[in-house]
Amino acid sequence: MSSPILEVKNLSQIIQDGDSTLSILENITFSIDQGEAVAIVGASGSGKSTLLGMLAGLDTPTSGEVNFLGQNLAAMSEDSRARLRAQHVGFVFQSFQLLDHLTALENVMLATELTTMSNREEACINMLQRVGLANRIHHTPKTLSGGEQQRVALARAFVRRPTVVFADEPTGSLDFATGQRVIDLMFSLQREQGTTLVLVTHDDKLAARCGRQLTIASGALVQEVV
Protein backbone atom coordinates (compact mmCIF):
# COMPACT_ATOMS: atom_id res chain seq x y z
CA MET A 1 0.00 0.00 0.00
CA SER A 2 1.39 3.41 -1.02
CA SER A 3 2.04 6.16 1.50
CA PRO A 4 -0.29 9.19 1.66
CA ILE A 5 0.58 12.23 -0.44
CA LEU A 6 -0.21 14.43 2.55
CA GLU A 7 -0.12 13.34 6.17
CA VAL A 8 -1.09 15.74 8.95
CA LYS A 9 -0.17 14.78 12.52
CA ASN A 10 -1.37 16.67 15.60
CA LEU A 11 -1.16 19.98 13.78
CA SER A 12 -1.62 23.13 15.88
CA GLN A 13 -1.11 26.82 15.19
CA ILE A 14 -1.13 29.25 18.10
CA ILE A 15 -0.38 32.96 17.96
CA GLN A 16 0.11 35.60 20.63
CA ASP A 17 -2.30 38.51 20.45
CA GLY A 18 -1.07 40.96 23.05
CA ASP A 19 -1.42 39.27 26.43
CA SER A 20 -3.75 36.58 25.10
CA THR A 21 -3.12 33.37 23.18
CA LEU A 22 -5.19 32.61 20.09
CA SER A 23 -5.54 29.03 18.89
CA ILE A 24 -5.99 29.03 15.08
CA LEU A 25 -5.66 25.26 14.59
CA GLU A 26 -5.76 22.62 17.29
CA ASN A 27 -4.46 19.05 17.19
CA ILE A 28 -5.58 18.17 13.65
CA THR A 29 -4.76 14.75 12.18
CA PHE A 30 -5.70 13.28 8.79
CA SER A 31 -4.12 12.00 5.58
CA ILE A 32 -4.82 12.39 1.84
CA ASP A 33 -3.97 9.81 -0.83
CA GLN A 34 -2.91 10.28 -4.43
CA GLY A 35 -5.79 11.20 -6.74
CA GLU A 36 -8.26 12.12 -4.00
CA ALA A 37 -10.47 15.20 -4.12
CA VAL A 38 -10.91 16.55 -0.60
CA ALA A 39 -12.93 19.59 0.51
CA ILE A 40 -12.08 21.53 3.66
CA VAL A 41 -15.26 23.22 4.83
CA GLY A 42 -16.26 25.43 7.73
CA ALA A 43 -17.52 28.86 8.67
CA SER A 44 -15.54 32.00 7.96
CA GLY A 45 -12.74 32.28 10.51
CA SER A 46 -12.75 28.58 11.35
CA GLY A 47 -9.12 28.12 10.28
CA LYS A 48 -9.63 26.32 6.98
CA SER A 49 -7.57 28.72 4.83
CA THR A 50 -4.82 28.68 7.45
CA LEU A 51 -4.84 24.89 7.24
CA LEU A 52 -4.57 25.03 3.45
CA GLY A 53 -1.52 27.27 3.75
CA MET A 54 0.06 24.79 6.16
CA LEU A 55 -0.58 21.90 3.76
CA ALA A 56 1.16 23.83 1.00
CA GLY A 57 4.13 24.73 3.17
CA LEU A 58 3.40 28.45 2.95
CA ASP A 59 3.44 28.61 6.75
CA THR A 60 4.82 26.38 9.48
CA PRO A 61 2.89 25.08 12.51
CA THR A 62 3.46 25.83 16.16
CA SER A 63 3.48 22.08 16.75
CA GLY A 64 2.73 18.90 14.86
CA GLU A 65 3.71 17.92 11.33
CA VAL A 66 2.66 18.19 7.72
CA ASN A 67 4.39 15.50 5.69
CA PHE A 68 4.29 16.07 1.93
CA LEU A 69 5.50 13.08 -0.09
CA GLY A 70 7.09 11.79 3.11
CA GLN A 71 8.96 15.02 3.89
CA ASN A 72 8.23 17.07 7.00
CA LEU A 73 7.64 20.56 5.61
CA ALA A 74 8.53 22.33 8.85
CA ALA A 75 11.95 20.66 8.86
CA MET A 76 12.76 22.02 5.40
CA SER A 77 14.18 25.45 4.56
CA GLU A 78 11.95 27.95 2.79
CA ASP A 79 14.02 27.49 -0.37
CA SER A 80 13.51 23.73 -0.20
CA ARG A 81 9.78 24.17 0.30
CA ALA A 82 9.65 26.56 -2.66
CA ARG A 83 11.42 24.00 -4.86
CA LEU A 84 8.98 21.32 -3.71
CA ARG A 85 6.03 23.56 -4.59
CA ALA A 86 7.54 24.41 -7.98
CA GLN A 87 7.81 20.72 -8.80
CA HIS A 88 4.66 19.29 -7.24
CA VAL A 89 2.05 21.97 -6.44
CA GLY A 90 -0.48 24.08 -8.33
CA PHE A 91 -2.64 26.83 -6.84
CA VAL A 92 -6.07 28.26 -7.69
CA PHE A 93 -7.13 31.36 -5.73
CA GLN A 94 -10.45 33.15 -5.34
CA SER A 95 -8.94 36.39 -6.66
CA PHE A 96 -7.17 34.64 -9.59
CA GLN A 97 -3.71 36.10 -8.68
CA LEU A 98 -2.77 36.87 -12.28
CA LEU A 99 -0.16 39.51 -13.13
CA ASP A 100 -1.95 42.35 -14.90
CA HIS A 101 0.91 43.31 -17.21
CA LEU A 102 1.37 39.78 -18.57
CA THR A 103 -0.73 37.99 -21.18
CA ALA A 104 -2.63 34.81 -20.41
CA LEU A 105 0.18 32.80 -21.97
CA GLU A 106 2.87 34.64 -20.02
CA ASN A 107 0.95 34.13 -16.75
CA VAL A 108 0.78 30.38 -17.38
CA MET A 109 4.43 30.21 -18.44
CA LEU A 110 5.46 31.74 -15.11
CA ALA A 111 4.45 28.48 -13.44
CA THR A 112 6.96 26.55 -15.54
CA GLU A 113 10.02 28.76 -15.01
CA LEU A 114 11.53 26.72 -12.19
CA THR A 115 10.88 23.37 -13.86
CA THR A 116 12.78 21.21 -16.31
CA MET A 117 9.81 20.99 -18.67
CA SER A 118 10.69 20.82 -22.33
CA ASN A 119 8.69 22.78 -24.91
CA ARG A 120 7.34 25.03 -22.16
CA GLU A 121 5.57 27.49 -24.47
CA GLU A 122 3.92 24.73 -26.48
CA ALA A 123 2.71 23.01 -23.30
CA CYS A 124 1.26 26.28 -21.98
CA ILE A 125 -0.50 27.04 -25.27
CA ASN A 126 -1.95 23.53 -25.32
CA MET A 127 -3.25 23.92 -21.77
CA LEU A 128 -4.86 27.28 -22.55
CA GLN A 129 -6.53 25.63 -25.52
CA ARG A 130 -7.68 22.82 -23.22
CA VAL A 131 -9.46 25.31 -20.96
CA GLY A 132 -11.16 26.97 -23.92
CA LEU A 133 -8.98 30.06 -24.31
CA ALA A 134 -7.42 29.40 -27.71
CA ASN A 135 -8.48 32.86 -28.90
CA ARG A 136 -7.47 34.68 -25.71
CA ILE A 137 -3.87 33.53 -25.32
CA HIS A 138 -2.34 36.97 -25.92
CA HIS A 139 -4.90 38.95 -23.89
CA THR A 140 -4.04 40.55 -20.55
CA PRO A 141 -6.23 39.92 -17.48
CA LYS A 142 -7.99 43.32 -17.67
CA THR A 143 -9.45 42.31 -21.05
CA LEU A 144 -10.71 38.95 -19.75
CA SER A 145 -13.91 38.19 -17.86
CA GLY A 146 -13.76 36.73 -14.35
CA GLY A 147 -14.49 33.25 -15.68
CA GLU A 148 -11.77 33.58 -18.30
CA GLN A 149 -9.28 34.75 -15.69
CA GLN A 150 -10.08 31.75 -13.50
CA ARG A 151 -9.59 29.46 -16.50
CA VAL A 152 -6.15 31.02 -16.99
CA ALA A 153 -5.53 30.24 -13.32
CA LEU A 154 -6.61 26.63 -13.89
CA ALA A 155 -4.26 26.36 -16.86
CA ARG A 156 -1.44 27.74 -14.71
CA ALA A 157 -2.21 25.30 -11.90
CA PHE A 158 -2.42 22.17 -14.05
CA VAL A 159 0.13 22.86 -16.81
CA ARG A 160 2.96 21.13 -14.91
CA ARG A 161 0.79 18.10 -14.13
CA PRO A 162 1.30 18.71 -10.41
CA THR A 163 0.98 16.11 -7.68
CA VAL A 164 -1.44 18.35 -5.75
CA VAL A 165 -3.60 21.34 -6.63
CA PHE A 166 -4.69 23.55 -3.74
CA ALA A 167 -7.78 25.66 -4.43
CA ASP A 168 -8.97 28.38 -2.04
CA GLU A 169 -12.63 29.34 -2.69
CA PRO A 170 -12.12 28.86 -6.46
CA THR A 171 -15.62 30.13 -7.36
CA GLY A 172 -15.91 32.81 -4.69
CA SER A 173 -15.56 35.70 -7.17
CA LEU A 174 -17.76 34.21 -9.90
CA ASP A 175 -21.48 34.14 -10.57
CA PHE A 176 -23.22 30.77 -10.22
CA ALA A 177 -23.28 29.74 -13.89
CA THR A 178 -19.68 30.78 -14.53
CA GLY A 179 -18.58 29.09 -11.31
CA GLN A 180 -20.23 25.84 -12.37
CA ARG A 181 -18.36 25.85 -15.68
CA VAL A 182 -15.06 26.52 -13.93
CA ILE A 183 -15.69 23.74 -11.40
CA ASP A 184 -16.64 21.25 -14.12
CA LEU A 185 -13.38 22.09 -15.87
CA MET A 186 -11.31 21.80 -12.68
CA PHE A 187 -12.65 18.34 -11.88
CA SER A 188 -12.16 17.22 -15.49
CA LEU A 189 -8.50 18.25 -15.36
CA GLN A 190 -8.10 16.60 -11.97
CA ARG A 191 -9.44 13.29 -13.31
CA GLU A 192 -7.44 13.46 -16.52
CA GLN A 193 -4.16 14.00 -14.70
CA GLY A 194 -4.85 11.91 -11.59
CA THR A 195 -4.02 14.98 -9.54
CA THR A 196 -4.81 15.22 -5.85
CA LEU A 197 -7.19 18.14 -5.28
CA VAL A 198 -7.55 19.88 -1.93
CA LEU A 199 -9.98 22.77 -1.86
CA VAL A 200 -11.37 25.18 0.70
CA THR A 201 -14.98 26.16 0.15
CA HIS A 202 -18.14 27.30 1.90
CA ASP A 203 -20.20 25.97 -1.04
CA ASP A 204 -21.93 22.76 0.06
CA LYS A 205 -22.62 21.68 -3.54
CA LEU A 206 -18.99 22.10 -4.51
CA ALA A 207 -17.84 20.23 -1.39
CA ALA A 208 -20.24 17.38 -2.19
CA ARG A 209 -18.46 16.79 -5.50
CA CYS A 210 -15.31 15.83 -3.62
CA GLY A 211 -14.72 12.31 -2.40
CA ARG A 212 -14.25 13.50 1.19
CA GLN A 213 -15.17 16.50 3.29
CA LEU A 214 -13.23 17.69 6.34
CA THR A 215 -15.18 20.11 8.53
CA ILE A 216 -13.18 22.59 10.58
CA ALA A 217 -14.81 24.49 13.45
CA SER A 218 -12.95 26.83 15.80
CA GLY A 219 -9.66 25.41 14.55
CA ALA A 220 -10.51 21.75 15.21
CA LEU A 221 -11.43 18.91 12.88
CA VAL A 222 -14.96 18.12 13.99
CA GLN A 223 -16.25 15.91 11.19
CA GLU A 224 -15.03 13.83 8.26
CA VAL A 225 -17.58 12.81 5.62
CA VAL A 226 -16.74 10.23 2.96
pLDDT for the residue 114: 73
Helix ranges (DSSP H) in 56-175? 78-88, 104-110, 120-130, 146-158
- pLDDT surpasses 70 at 32: yes
Listed as own residue / partner, the contacts of 131-139 with beta carbons closer than 8 Å and 24 or more positions apart are: 131/155, 131/185, 131/189, 132/185, 133/104, 136/104, 137/103, 137/104, 137/105, 138/103, 138/104, 138/105, 139/103, 139/104
Is 0.95 topped by the overall pTM?
Answer: no
What are the chain's domains? Answer: 6-225 (3.40.50.300)
Q: Report the alpha-carbon distance of residue 109 to residue 75 in Å, rounded.
A: 30
Q: What is the mean pLDDT of the chain?
A: 93
**pLDDT (tens digit per residue) in 179-204:** 999 999 999 999 999 999 999 998 88
Q: Which residue has better confidence, 103 or 21?
A: 103
| Rounded percentage of the chain residues whose pLDDT exceeds 70 | 99
Looking at per-residue pLDDT, the higher value among 96 and 2 belongs to 96
Q: What is the pLDDT of residues 165-182, one digit of tens each?
A: 999 999 988 999 999 999
